């Protein structure tokens, strides 16, 4: 157990420092903070012009969705870069606990996602008409943490595909914009066709964004508890999918040398 925890925390931190080139502030600010900021401003002013929803609607939706940059792109790079740099095969040769090995890499992504989404909410408070009551902030923070964890779990499931396919960045790019469309970020799910609503309900963000908006509107955490639990359940399912895919593709790589040939 002690070794598994060490792999989870220490291994996750070391791999994060080794794999990502956005850690320097000159890369981090425009990549992880600048893009979400302009996304929030764009949709908020678009909403003002079209007279559809108020600023709060778009700030919460886009600020929470901004965590997907760290969750999806970071998770796919976690495996994709390991494979590209030639370190994935030696990593899989170790006897380390597989769940701790890969899920530990999710912990820095969760922290990064929380930072990015919090930055988006603060910018909404500074630049737009977004003024949540101070009493709503603890509940909003809890909703945000659950949603970020759920989104990172989905990203790890996508990242597992990097053990089989060489180009996993297409899937992260695709799912980022799919989630922007079907998860209620800017378009209410009720306005979408039924089949898109079904897809959205199976993805992270959908229930978390709805819960966040309800909390900001003045509802108590207890009244949105079913949404928070739904978001947590979605994340738990995707985490299990991620672990299962890692195990399946690892076994296949031993039998067919797929890490070197696929």
Residue 8 has pLDDT above 90, yes or no: no
pLDDT in tens, 58-83: 999 999 999 998 888 888 887 777 77
> Region 228-253: what's the mean pLDDT?
89
- Residue 166: other Cβ atoms inside 10 A: 11
Q: Residue 86: left if φ>0, alpha if ψ -120 to 50, beta else—which one?
A: left
Residue 148 has pLDDT above 60, yes or no: yes
Which of the four pLDDT bands, split at 50, 70 and 90, describes residue 105? confident
Using CA atoms, how far apart are residues 133 and 147, in angstroms rounded to an integer?
A: 21
- Residue 146: other Cβ atoms inside 10 A: 22
Residue 184 has pLDDT above 70, yes or no: yes
Residue 261 has pLDDT above 80, yes or no: no
Residue 108's pLDDT is 86
Using CA atoms, how far apart are residues 100 and 10, in angstroms rounded to an integer?
A: 10
> Mean pLDDT in the chain?
86
Residue 76's pLDDT is 82
What 3-state class would DSSP assign to 36?
helix
Residue 204's pLDDT is 95
pTM over 0.85: yes
Residue 260's pLDDT is 57
> Region 12-25: what's the mean pLDDT?
69
> Region 127-144: what's the mean pLDDT?
94
> Region 44-65: what's the mean pLDDT?
92
Residue 7's pLDDT is 67
Counting residues of the chain whose pLDDT is more than 70, the rounded percentage is 85
For residue 47 the two structure tokens come to 């909403």
Question: Are the C-beta atoms of 66 and 115 separated by less than 8 Å?
Answer: no
Q: What does the radius of gyration of the chain's CA atoms come to, in whole angstroms?
A: 19
> Region 167-194: what's the mean pLDDT?
89
Residue 29's pLDDT is 85
Residue 256's pLDDT is 64
Residue 16's pLDDT is 72
Residue 172's pLDDT is 85
Residue ranges per structural domain of the chain = 2-261
């Amino acid at each position: 157990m002690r070794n598994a925890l060490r792999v989870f925390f220490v291994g996750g931190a070391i791999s994060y420092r080794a794999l990502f080139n956005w850690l320097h502030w000159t890369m981090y600010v425009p990549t992880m903070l600048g893009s979400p900021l302009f996304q929030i401003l764009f949709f908020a002013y678009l909403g003002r012009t079209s007279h559809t929803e108020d600023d709060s609607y778009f700030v919460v939706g886009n600020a929470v969705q901004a965590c997907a940059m760290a969750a999806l792109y970071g998770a796919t790079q976690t495996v994709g870069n390991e494979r590209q740099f030639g370190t994935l095969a030696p990593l899989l040769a170790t006897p380390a606990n597989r769940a701790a090995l890969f899920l530990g890499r999710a912990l820095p992504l969760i922290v990064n996602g929380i930072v990015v989404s919090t930055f988006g909410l603060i910018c909404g408070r500074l630049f737009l008409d977004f003024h949540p009551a101070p009493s709503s902030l603890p509940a909003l923070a809890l909703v945000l943490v659950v949603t970020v964890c759920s989104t990172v779990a989905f990203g790890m499931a996508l990242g597992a595909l990097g053990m089989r396919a060489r180009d996993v960045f297409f899937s992260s790019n695709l799912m980022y914009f799919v989630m922007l469309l079907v998860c209620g970020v800017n378009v209410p799910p009720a306005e979408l066709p039924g089949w898109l609503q079904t897809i959205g309900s199976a993805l992270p963000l959908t229930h978390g964004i709805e819960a966040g908006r309800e909390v900001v509107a003045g509802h108590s955490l207890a009244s949105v508890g079913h949404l928070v639990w739904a978001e947590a359940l979605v994340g738990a399912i995707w985490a299990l999918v991620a672990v299962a895919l890692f195990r399946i593709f690892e076994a296949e790589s031993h039998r067919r040398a797929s890490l070197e040939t696929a």
